[in-house]
Amino acid sequence: MVGREREFAALQLAWRAAGRMVLVRGSAGIGKSRLVRELAERVRAAGGTVLAGRCSPTAADVPFRPLREALLAAARTGLRPSAEVAPFLPSLGSLVPEWVAARDASLDGGAIVLAEGLLRLMVAWSSPEVPALLVIEDMQWSDRETINAVEYLADNLAGHPALVIVTLRGGEPGPGADLMEALHVRRAIQPVDLFPLEPAQSEVNGARYALPCRRRWKLFIQASRVAPASWPPASPSRRACASVPLTCGSRRPAAR
């Protein structure tokens, strides 16, 4: 990823090590979601489980909104809790009704029990070589129940083959942002901060599908400062064109 190599490498290392929570923060539109999606694609390609949900400014009163989204999406793909997670099914079933035959709300156990069930679920869907990944986006808009669950996960992930990545929009206040700051202060999370790219790097990241192959190669060379000898032949093959290491961005290049 042009201009994000260091940050992406940090996420890859965190995934391989697992047992932690990572905070990816930066201003709106800076590329937090793109960076995390790139890692999620790598995890899926390695055969790993990816759970992903998003907080919403219009759903702050919906308990566990991003966790509901993540687990419901997993259920749609056919994933189900294994036998060792059975004691936590009443809590998990409050988010995914099809996982329990009959739900008893009195057995839900609240945010802490649900977070423990989620952690054990991720461990069951992991291996030491391929940890499971949970992504929670836009934590600044989190509901109170998710905040409680995320805090519990941050304190209990160590030693388990699972990684949680939380994204946060910088400069936007809220209970979710307050929790991330508190976790950062007590070193319970690993921060990865994103800063604006240089113009050439932004142009490259916006050019993956917008420009002809040879122009894409030229932009990549300019942004990466690769020697002209590395340019492709006059008529590069379709395979060579597809191999240009670019990622989609929000900025489209100017017309030529």
Band (35; pLDDT cuts 50, 70, 90) = very high
Higher pLDDT, 68 or 240: 68
CA distance 6 to 220: 17
The answer to whether 33 and 137 have CB atoms below 8 angstroms apart is yes
Averaged pLDDT of the chain: 83
Which stretch, 74-88, 190-204, 213-227, has highest mean pLDDT?
A: 74-88
Domain ranges (residues) in the chain = 5-193, 199-242
CA distance 123 to 188: 19
pTM as predicted:
0.77
Which pLDDT tens digit goes with each residue over 41-97?
999 999 999 999 999 999 989 999 999 999 999 999 999 999 999 999 999 999 999
DSSP one-letter code for 87: G
Nearest to 169 by CA among 196, 137, 202, 135: 137
> What CATH architecture does domain 5-193 belong to?
3-Layer(aba) Sandwich (3.40)
Which pLDDT tens digit goes with each residue over 89-148?
999 999 999 998 766 555 667 999 999 999 999 999 999 999 999 999 999 999 999 999
